[in-house]
A = this chain, B = another copy of it.
Amino acid sequence: MIIDQTIKQLIAHALAEDIGPGDVTTAAMIPAESTSTATMLAKQEMVLAGLEVAGEVFRQIDPAIECKLRAKDGDRVVTGTEIARLSGHTRALLRGERVALNLLQHMSGIATLTSKYLEQLKGQKARVLDTRKTLPGLRQLEKYAVRVGGGKNHRFGLFDGVLIKDNHIKASAGITNAVARARKNAHHLLGIEVETKTLDEVQEALDASADTIMFDNMPIEMMREAVKLVAGRALVEASGNVTLDTIRHIAETGVDFISVGNLTHSAPAADISMKIT
């Protein structure tokens, strides 16, 4: 994982948000010269994601903090596993604790949830995709966590792929027209995906030579038909209210991708604590 300028600024911003003009508790009672060792522990089974990000939090507060990772992103760990050990100024450790945990718990929560979807797909070719349903400012980290959990990313934003949805189709006089305009105007390395709701629309998208066809909230049976209709001439993505209960049935229709908004907008935080030892 590359800790680039965007991520560094996100962390700096999160620290400013939490610490503001100062941590009044540690300033009042912890001597500046006091040092400690702290340990981060998994308090549930989880797939870890964000360890480097958590390390960067402490590095920004005090580059002298030593951070030994005991695990790495992608590891599945059980309750009680020590995942990192930090040594340095007590004040710095306590100032960084909450921001580091907030990031680590959110990212591990996403990776863990993604891995649960993956488990449902054992033996199936379908891959789990994320969506643009992410939290403002966190997309890069959330999409990374999806990859760590075994998922595959969909396009990052509005700029790296053409995705023609119902609203676009309404506003541009039909699928055929919309795809033709995309082919003419978008640059030649951008694939074109079309959202469809009926078999007729699938056929129209196919005739327009869409690269990928999305089945939006289709019944399982219709999806199966649609996969047959497409017959490999385009990639196909199933989308819409996918849950752990329904994903396997969807996969069995033969789709290539299944996108799941829950992965990023509704993943519960994974429980991790930090304790001074």
Contact = CB atoms under 8 A, between A and B. Distances in A.
A249 interface: no
A160 B190 contact: yes
9 A-B pairs with least C-beta separation: A161-B189, A14-B136, A266-B268, A189-B191, A28-B185, A20-B159, A265-B269, A23-B158, A160-B160
B268 A269 contact: no
Choose among A140, A190, A212 the residue with the greatest number of B CB atoms under 10 Å from its CB: A190
Interface in A235-277: 235, 237, 256-257, 261-262, 265-266, 268-269, 274-276
A276 B171 contact: yes
Contacts of A265: 102, 105-106, 109, 268-269
A163 interface: yes
A108 B275 CA distance: 33
A276 B135 CA distance: 23
A164 to B, nearest CB: 6
A152 interface: yes
A126 to B, nearest CB: 12
Contacts of A160: 20-21, 24, 159-161, 187, 189-190
A93 B158 CA distance: 13
A276 B153 contact: no
A261 B27 CA distance: 24
A133 B102 contact: yes
Contacts of A275: 166-167
A156 B60 CA distance: 21
With most chain B CB atoms within 10 A of its CB, the pick from A98, A167, A266 is A167
Nearest to A179: B29
B154 A187 contact: yes
A157 B93 CA distance: 16
